[in-house]
Chains A and B, each alone.
Chain A
Amino acid sequence: MKCEREQQVIEATRNGLWASSLRAHLRDCALCAQTELIAASLQEDAAKAERMLDLPPAGMIWRRAQTRRRQGALQRATRRPFLIVGALGALYSVVFLLWGIFQLPQSVYRPFVTPPGLTGGVALAGAALSGILAIVGSCVLLLETKR
Protein backbone atom coordinates (compact mmCIF):
# COMPACT_ATOMS: atom_id res chain seq x y z
CA MET A 1 0.00 0.00 0.00
CA LYS A 2 1.48 3.31 -1.05
CA CYS A 3 0.16 6.78 -1.75
CA GLU A 4 1.61 8.63 -4.73
CA ARG A 5 1.88 11.85 -2.72
CA GLU A 6 3.90 10.33 0.10
CA GLN A 7 7.21 11.70 -1.18
CA GLN A 8 5.66 15.17 -1.45
CA VAL A 9 4.52 14.93 2.17
CA ILE A 10 8.06 13.99 3.27
CA GLU A 11 9.53 16.89 1.28
CA ALA A 12 6.98 19.32 2.70
CA THR A 13 7.79 18.16 6.22
CA ARG A 14 11.47 18.68 5.46
CA ASN A 15 11.23 22.17 4.01
CA GLY A 16 8.04 23.36 5.70
CA LEU A 17 6.41 24.36 2.43
CA TRP A 18 2.91 22.92 2.39
CA ALA A 19 0.76 23.44 -0.68
CA SER A 20 -2.91 23.87 0.23
CA SER A 21 -3.85 20.88 -1.94
CA LEU A 22 -1.33 18.75 -0.07
CA ARG A 23 -2.75 19.91 3.26
CA ALA A 24 -6.21 18.94 2.10
CA HIS A 25 -4.93 15.58 0.90
CA LEU A 26 -3.30 14.98 4.28
CA ARG A 27 -6.69 15.27 6.00
CA ASP A 28 -8.19 12.61 3.74
CA CYS A 29 -5.30 10.17 3.35
CA ALA A 30 -4.52 7.99 6.38
CA LEU A 31 -1.25 6.81 4.85
CA CYS A 32 0.04 10.33 4.32
CA ALA A 33 -1.08 11.34 7.81
CA GLN A 34 0.96 8.43 9.11
CA THR A 35 3.91 9.51 6.98
CA GLU A 36 3.67 13.06 8.31
CA LEU A 37 3.61 11.81 11.91
CA ILE A 38 6.75 9.70 11.48
CA ALA A 39 8.62 12.21 9.34
CA ALA A 40 7.90 15.13 11.67
CA SER A 41 8.99 13.20 14.76
CA LEU A 42 12.21 11.93 13.21
CA GLN A 43 13.09 15.23 11.55
CA GLU A 44 12.59 17.18 14.75
CA ASP A 45 14.83 14.71 16.52
CA ALA A 46 17.45 14.98 13.76
CA ALA A 47 17.40 18.79 13.90
CA LYS A 48 17.96 18.74 17.67
CA ALA A 49 20.77 16.23 17.38
CA GLU A 50 22.45 18.34 14.68
CA ARG A 51 22.25 21.48 16.81
CA MET A 52 23.95 19.78 19.75
CA LEU A 53 26.77 18.00 18.01
CA ASP A 54 30.39 19.06 17.98
CA LEU A 55 31.86 17.99 14.67
CA PRO A 56 35.56 17.24 14.22
CA PRO A 57 37.21 19.88 11.98
CA ALA A 58 37.26 19.09 8.28
CA GLY A 59 40.98 19.91 8.08
CA MET A 60 41.79 17.21 10.61
CA ILE A 61 39.90 14.57 8.61
CA TRP A 62 41.54 15.77 5.41
CA ARG A 63 45.02 15.40 6.92
CA ARG A 64 44.17 11.99 8.36
CA ALA A 65 42.95 10.83 4.96
CA GLN A 66 46.10 12.16 3.30
CA THR A 67 48.27 10.28 5.81
CA ARG A 68 46.29 7.11 5.18
CA ARG A 69 46.58 7.58 1.42
CA ARG A 70 50.36 7.95 1.68
CA GLN A 71 50.60 4.88 3.91
CA GLY A 72 48.53 2.91 1.41
CA ALA A 73 50.76 4.03 -1.46
CA LEU A 74 53.88 3.08 0.51
CA GLN A 75 52.44 -0.33 1.33
CA ARG A 76 51.62 -0.97 -2.32
CA ALA A 77 55.09 0.19 -3.41
CA THR A 78 56.91 -2.04 -0.93
CA ARG A 79 54.77 -5.13 -1.52
CA ARG A 80 56.42 -6.08 -4.85
CA PRO A 81 60.06 -5.80 -3.72
CA PHE A 82 59.24 -7.82 -0.64
CA LEU A 83 57.69 -10.52 -2.79
CA ILE A 84 60.76 -10.59 -5.06
CA VAL A 85 63.12 -10.66 -2.10
CA GLY A 86 61.02 -13.41 -0.53
CA ALA A 87 61.17 -15.51 -3.69
CA LEU A 88 64.91 -14.96 -4.07
CA GLY A 89 65.38 -15.78 -0.40
CA ALA A 90 63.49 -19.06 -0.86
CA LEU A 91 65.60 -19.91 -3.90
CA TYR A 92 68.76 -19.03 -2.01
CA SER A 93 67.68 -21.31 0.87
CA VAL A 94 67.11 -24.24 -1.50
CA VAL A 95 70.49 -23.76 -3.18
CA PHE A 96 72.18 -23.34 0.18
CA LEU A 97 70.53 -26.50 1.50
CA LEU A 98 71.63 -28.50 -1.52
CA TRP A 99 75.14 -27.13 -1.25
CA GLY A 100 75.18 -28.02 2.44
CA ILE A 101 74.01 -31.57 1.73
CA PHE A 102 76.73 -32.08 -0.84
CA GLN A 103 79.34 -30.85 1.62
CA LEU A 104 78.48 -33.71 3.98
CA PRO A 105 80.49 -36.92 3.77
CA GLN A 106 79.12 -39.19 1.04
CA SER A 107 78.31 -41.86 3.62
CA VAL A 108 75.70 -39.56 5.17
CA TYR A 109 73.75 -38.51 2.08
CA ARG A 110 74.34 -41.55 -0.13
CA PRO A 111 71.24 -43.37 1.19
CA PHE A 112 69.07 -40.40 0.12
CA VAL A 113 70.62 -39.11 -3.10
CA THR A 114 72.95 -40.49 -5.66
CA PRO A 115 74.77 -37.46 -7.12
CA PRO A 116 75.92 -37.83 -10.72
CA GLY A 117 79.62 -37.14 -10.47
CA LEU A 118 79.64 -34.52 -7.71
CA THR A 119 82.77 -32.45 -7.56
CA GLY A 120 84.04 -29.56 -5.49
CA GLY A 121 83.44 -27.39 -8.57
CA VAL A 122 79.69 -28.06 -8.50
CA ALA A 123 79.46 -27.13 -4.82
CA LEU A 124 81.43 -23.94 -5.48
CA ALA A 125 79.18 -23.04 -8.41
CA GLY A 126 76.13 -23.52 -6.15
CA ALA A 127 77.56 -21.20 -3.53
CA ALA A 128 78.45 -18.62 -6.19
CA LEU A 129 74.93 -18.78 -7.66
CA SER A 130 73.30 -18.26 -4.26
CA GLY A 131 75.61 -15.26 -3.65
CA ILE A 132 74.63 -13.75 -7.00
CA LEU A 133 70.95 -14.23 -6.24
CA ALA A 134 71.37 -12.51 -2.88
CA ILE A 135 73.11 -9.53 -4.54
CA VAL A 136 70.42 -9.29 -7.26
CA GLY A 137 67.70 -9.38 -4.57
CA SER A 138 69.36 -6.57 -2.63
CA CYS A 139 69.73 -4.46 -5.81
CA VAL A 140 66.03 -4.91 -6.64
CA LEU A 141 65.07 -3.92 -3.12
CA LEU A 142 67.27 -0.84 -3.28
CA LEU A 143 65.92 0.26 -6.66
CA GLU A 144 62.27 -0.21 -5.63
CA THR A 145 62.81 1.66 -2.37
CA LYS A 146 64.37 4.59 -4.25
CA ARG A 147 61.43 4.64 -6.68
Chain B
Amino acid sequence: MDEQTFHALYAATAKPLWAYIARLSGRPDVANDLLQETYCRFLTAKLGNVELAEAKPYLFRIATNLLNDRWRKGEDTTWSEPPEIGFERDLDTQIDVRDLMQQLKPRERQLLWLAYVEGMTHSEIARSTGLRLMSVRILLFRARQKAAELLGRKERAVHEV
Protein backbone atom coordinates (compact mmCIF):
# COMPACT_ATOMS: atom_id res chain seq x y z
CA MET B 1 0.00 0.00 0.00
CA ASP B 2 1.42 3.42 -0.95
CA GLU B 3 1.12 6.58 1.11
CA GLN B 4 -1.63 8.14 -1.03
CA THR B 5 -3.82 5.06 -0.74
CA PHE B 6 -3.25 5.03 2.99
CA HIS B 7 -4.28 8.68 3.29
CA ALA B 8 -7.53 7.90 1.47
CA LEU B 9 -8.16 4.86 3.64
CA TYR B 10 -7.43 6.84 6.78
CA ALA B 11 -9.80 9.63 5.76
CA ALA B 12 -12.57 7.10 5.19
CA THR B 13 -12.12 5.00 8.31
CA ALA B 14 -10.37 6.92 11.08
CA LYS B 15 -13.39 8.79 12.47
CA PRO B 16 -15.71 5.81 12.89
CA LEU B 17 -12.84 3.75 14.20
CA TRP B 18 -11.93 6.41 16.76
CA ALA B 19 -15.57 6.71 17.86
CA TYR B 20 -15.74 2.92 18.22
CA ILE B 21 -12.66 2.74 20.41
CA ALA B 22 -13.56 5.84 22.42
CA ARG B 23 -17.10 4.76 23.15
CA LEU B 24 -16.08 1.22 23.99
CA SER B 25 -13.22 2.11 26.26
CA GLY B 26 -14.85 5.28 27.61
CA ARG B 27 -11.42 6.90 27.35
CA PRO B 28 -10.64 9.38 24.53
CA ASP B 29 -6.93 9.32 25.41
CA VAL B 30 -6.91 5.54 25.03
CA ALA B 31 -8.77 5.93 21.74
CA ASN B 32 -6.02 8.15 20.34
CA ASP B 33 -3.32 5.66 21.30
CA LEU B 34 -5.19 2.59 20.10
CA LEU B 35 -6.16 4.28 16.84
CA GLN B 36 -2.51 4.88 16.00
CA GLU B 37 -1.56 1.39 17.08
CA THR B 38 -4.34 -0.09 14.95
CA TYR B 39 -3.15 1.64 11.78
CA CYS B 40 0.50 0.84 12.54
CA ARG B 41 -0.34 -2.85 12.87
CA PHE B 42 -2.44 -2.69 9.74
CA LEU B 43 0.41 -1.12 7.76
CA THR B 44 3.10 -3.44 9.06
CA ALA B 45 1.03 -6.55 8.31
CA LYS B 46 1.87 -7.90 4.88
CA LEU B 47 -1.52 -7.57 3.24
CA GLY B 48 -0.70 -6.33 -0.24
CA ASN B 49 -3.32 -4.12 -1.86
CA VAL B 50 -6.58 -4.26 0.04
CA GLU B 51 -9.85 -2.66 -0.93
CA LEU B 52 -11.64 -0.33 1.48
CA ALA B 53 -14.43 -2.88 1.94
CA GLU B 54 -11.89 -5.49 3.08
CA ALA B 55 -9.76 -3.06 5.07
CA LYS B 56 -12.53 -1.74 7.30
CA PRO B 57 -13.48 -5.04 9.02
CA TYR B 58 -9.78 -5.81 9.34
CA LEU B 59 -9.12 -2.49 11.07
CA PHE B 60 -12.04 -3.07 13.42
CA ARG B 61 -10.68 -6.54 14.13
CA ILE B 62 -7.29 -5.12 15.12
CA ALA B 63 -8.92 -2.44 17.28
CA THR B 64 -11.18 -5.05 18.88
CA ASN B 65 -8.19 -7.24 19.70
CA LEU B 66 -6.38 -4.29 21.25
CA LEU B 67 -9.46 -3.46 23.34
CA ASN B 68 -9.83 -7.11 24.35
CA ASP B 69 -6.19 -7.11 25.49
CA ARG B 70 -6.91 -4.12 27.71
CA TRP B 71 -10.04 -5.73 29.12
CA ARG B 72 -8.16 -8.95 29.80
CA LYS B 73 -5.66 -6.92 31.82
CA GLY B 74 -8.59 -5.41 33.74
CA GLU B 75 -8.36 -1.98 32.10
CA ASP B 76 -11.44 -0.02 30.91
CA THR B 77 -13.87 -2.71 32.11
CA THR B 78 -15.98 0.00 33.66
CA TRP B 79 -17.00 2.76 31.32
CA SER B 80 -15.56 5.94 32.76
CA GLU B 81 -15.43 8.77 30.28
CA PRO B 82 -14.97 12.05 32.16
CA PRO B 83 -17.98 14.40 31.78
CA GLU B 84 -16.02 17.20 30.20
CA ILE B 85 -14.75 15.13 27.32
CA GLY B 86 -16.81 14.05 24.37
CA PHE B 87 -20.27 14.76 25.75
CA GLU B 88 -22.40 17.79 26.17
CA ARG B 89 -24.26 17.05 29.37
CA ASP B 90 -27.29 19.12 28.45
CA LEU B 91 -28.34 16.85 25.62
CA ASP B 92 -30.79 14.15 26.64
CA THR B 93 -29.65 11.66 24.06
CA GLN B 94 -26.05 11.87 25.11
CA ILE B 95 -26.90 11.45 28.75
CA ASP B 96 -28.99 8.44 27.80
CA VAL B 97 -26.16 6.92 25.80
CA ARG B 98 -23.66 7.70 28.53
CA ASP B 99 -25.84 5.93 31.09
CA LEU B 100 -26.43 3.09 28.70
CA MET B 101 -22.72 2.62 28.07
CA GLN B 102 -21.97 2.67 31.78
CA GLN B 103 -24.42 -0.13 32.44
CA LEU B 104 -23.40 -2.40 29.58
CA LYS B 105 -20.59 -4.92 29.65
CA PRO B 106 -17.66 -4.32 27.27
CA ARG B 107 -18.74 -7.15 24.95
CA GLU B 108 -22.30 -5.79 24.84
CA ARG B 109 -21.07 -2.30 23.99
CA GLN B 110 -18.92 -3.77 21.26
CA LEU B 111 -21.67 -5.78 19.61
CA LEU B 112 -24.26 -3.02 19.78
CA TRP B 113 -21.85 -0.50 18.31
CA LEU B 114 -20.85 -2.70 15.40
CA ALA B 115 -24.43 -3.65 14.64
CA TYR B 116 -26.23 -0.35 15.12
CA VAL B 117 -23.62 2.29 14.37
CA GLU B 118 -21.46 0.55 11.80
CA GLY B 119 -24.41 -1.36 10.37
CA MET B 120 -22.45 -4.61 10.21
CA THR B 121 -24.25 -7.87 9.56
CA HIS B 122 -23.88 -10.75 12.00
CA SER B 123 -21.22 -12.43 9.88
CA GLU B 124 -19.25 -9.17 9.58
CA ILE B 125 -19.47 -8.74 13.37
CA ALA B 126 -18.23 -12.30 13.79
CA ARG B 127 -15.24 -11.49 11.57
CA SER B 128 -14.54 -8.24 13.42
CA THR B 129 -14.76 -9.71 16.89
CA GLY B 130 -13.53 -13.26 16.40
CA LEU B 131 -16.76 -14.65 17.86
CA ARG B 132 -18.79 -17.46 16.32
CA LEU B 133 -21.79 -16.48 14.27
CA MET B 134 -24.19 -18.19 16.66
CA SER B 135 -22.57 -16.48 19.65
CA VAL B 136 -22.95 -13.11 17.92
CA ARG B 137 -26.66 -13.75 17.39
CA ILE B 138 -27.28 -14.74 20.99
CA LEU B 139 -25.09 -12.10 22.63
CA LEU B 140 -26.37 -9.35 20.38
CA PHE B 141 -29.96 -10.30 21.11
CA ARG B 142 -29.33 -10.12 24.86
CA ALA B 143 -27.40 -6.86 24.58
CA ARG B 144 -30.15 -5.36 22.50
CA GLN B 145 -32.83 -6.37 25.01
CA LYS B 146 -30.81 -4.80 27.79
CA ALA B 147 -30.17 -1.60 25.81
CA ALA B 148 -33.79 -1.26 24.78
CA GLU B 149 -34.90 -1.74 28.36
CA LEU B 150 -32.46 0.89 29.63
CA LEU B 151 -33.29 3.41 26.90
CA GLY B 152 -37.01 2.71 27.23
CA ARG B 153 -36.85 3.26 30.96
CA LYS B 154 -35.20 6.63 30.35
CA GLU B 155 -37.82 7.59 27.79
CA ARG B 156 -40.64 6.67 30.15
CA ALA B 157 -39.01 8.69 32.94
CA VAL B 158 -38.72 11.74 30.63
CA HIS B 159 -42.39 11.43 29.58
CA GLU B 160 -43.52 11.14 33.20
CA VAL B 161 -41.64 14.33 34.11
Q: Give the interface of A toward B (CB within 8 A).
A: 1-2, 7, 10-11, 13-14, 34-35, 37-39, 41-46, 48-50, 52-53, 55-56, 58-59, 61-62, 64-66, 68-69, 72
Contact = CB atoms under 8 A, between A and B. Distances in A.
A30 B133 CA distance: 24
B93 A55 contact: no
19 contacts: A2-B137, A7-B121, A38-B112, A38-B116, A38-B151, A41-B93, A41-B151, A42-B97, A42-B112, A48-B91, A48-B94, A55-B14, A55-B35, A56-B35, A58-B6, A62-B6, A62-B7, A66-B43, A69-B44
B97 to A, nearest CB: 4
Given A50-B19, A55-B18, A45 B94 contact: yes
A59 B97 CA distance: 33
B161 interface: no
Interface in B1-37: 3, 6-7, 10-11, 14-16, 18-19, 22-23, 28, 31-32, 35-36
A106 to B, nearest CB: 60
Interface of B: 3, 6-7, 10-11, 14-16, 18-19, 22-23, 28, 31-32, 35-36, 39-40, 43-44, 86-88, 91, 93-94, 96-97, 100, 112-113, 115-117, 119, 121, 137, 141, 144, 147-148, 151-152, 155
